[in-house]
Amino acid sequence: MNLGPHANFIIAAYVIAALVIIGLIVWVELDNRAQRRHLKNLHAQGVTRRSGPTP
């Protein structure tokens, strides 16, 4: 594929798009793991939605 005299601009646009999209996917995945880890730790300590202080 011949991208012509402005190939650098085209390649830069696609590389930046790929980086932004990969960044979003990584952010969502890492956030998911972090929240699940927090929940697991809290459950391990016996803190659940039904373990609140009794009145």
Partner 1 sequence: MAIIDLANPTRFLNLAHRALPWLIEITGALFVVGLYLVYGAPDDYQQGATVKIMFIHVPSAWLGMFGWLLMSIAALGTLVWRHPLADVAAKAAAPIGASFTFLCLVTGALWGRPMWGTYWVWDARLTSVLILFLMYLGVIALWRTVEDPSRAARAAAILTLVGAINLPIIKFSVDWWNTLHQPASVIRLGGPSIYPTILVPLLVMALAFTLLFVTLHVAAMGNEILRRRVRALMLMQAQSAPGSGE
CA angle 15, 20, 25 (to 5 degrees): 125
How distant is the alpha carbon of residue 30 from its chain centre?
A: 5
Summarize as ranges the residues that interact with partner 1 (CB under 8 A).
1-7, 9-10, 12-14, 16-17, 20-21, 23-25, 27-28, 31-32, 35-36, 38-39, 42, 45, 47-49, 51-53
Q: What minimum distance in Å lies between the beta carbon of 36 and partner 1?
A: 7
